[in-house]
Amino acid sequence: MVLTTNLTLTRSEMIKKLTKEYSHSFPSQPIFVETGAGVSTLGMAEVGKEFNAKVYSCDRNPEKIDELIARTKGKLDNVEIIIGDSIEILEEIVKKHGEIHFAHLDSGASAMLTFREFLTLQDYIKPGTGILVDNAALPEEKEVLTEVRKGKILVPYLLASSQWDVQAHPKAGGSMVSATLHQEGNFAEFDYEYPEYVDKWPSYFDENL
């Protein structure tokens, strides 16, 4: 059974909560990544300092990044912010480091983009750690804080996996879903599905790939 929490936490507070839970699985310098820079990047910077992590954040919008850096006044100095395509950037990060210990996925409002970002990372995420997806919810969730497009493909994919332990946080961030990777397990939940996506996945791939 998937756990649903009623935590009313900000994005940064959720990032802090999860990294603390995962910290027992961190090496001496874990690798944290974020797609879609913003207010949450402050949280990434804080946990980066707390756990001596190498932190990356990426975004397509250079004006947004300039304003973010100006407004935060040096608080993001330990975050390597890269402007460009998130998939290409993530490919370079995993090629360089070979493993990922926390990922916050919050870039474009696209289910397929978020899914592709995850696919780029999934073979490198270490057991005992995991991901946090913003603007995402369980398929049957009715009370959400924003449009939850980003998780429409990824969340059912995670639910169907035996190794991903999924938790829903509909009152946190913009409604969020987290997932923890286990070496072994029996976490698959095959009963969850988005009715509007059932048997329509080929068209989504045709349109987005």
Q: Give me the mean pLDDT over the 69-93 stretch.
A: 97
Residue 6 CB: number of other CB atoms within 10 A? Answer: 8
| pLDDT of 82 above 80 | yes
pLDDT band at residue 10, thresholds of 50, 70 and 90? very high
pLDDT band at residue 140, thresholds of 50, 70 and 90? confident
Q: Could you give the 3-state DSSP secondary structure of residue 41?
A: helix
pLDDT band at residue 146, thresholds of 50, 70 and 90? confident
**In this predicted structure, what is the pLDDT of residue 206?**
65
**How many Å apart are CA 159 and CA 65, to the nearest integer?**
34
What letter does residue 137 receive in the DSSP assignment?
-
Residues forming a β-bridge with 168: 4, 177
What letter does residue 171 receive in the DSSP assignment?
T
DSSP structure string for 52-74: T-EEEEEES-HHHHHHHHHHHTT
Q: Residue 173 has which token pair? A: 């961030």
Q: What does pLDDT average to over the chain? A: 91
Residues forming a β-bridge with 176: 134, 169
Domains of the chain in start order, with CATH, are: 3-208 (3.40.50.150)
**How many Å apart are CA 56 and CA 44, to the nearest integer?**
9
Residue, of 21 and 197, whose pLDDT is higher: 21
| pLDDT of 79 above 70 | yes
The answer to whether the CB of 200 falls within 8 A of the CB of 174 is no
**In this predicted structure, what is the pLDDT of residue 165?**
94
- pLDDT (tens digit per residue) in 161-207: 889 999 999 999 999 999 999 987 666 665 655 555 555 556 655 66
% the chain with pLDDT above 70: 88
% the chain with pLDDT above 90: 76
Q: Residue 157 has which token pair? A: 């994919």
**In this predicted structure, what is the pLDDT of residue 108?**
80
Strands of the chain, DSSP E: 3-4, 31-35, 54-59, 79-83, 100-105, 125-134, 164-169, 176-181
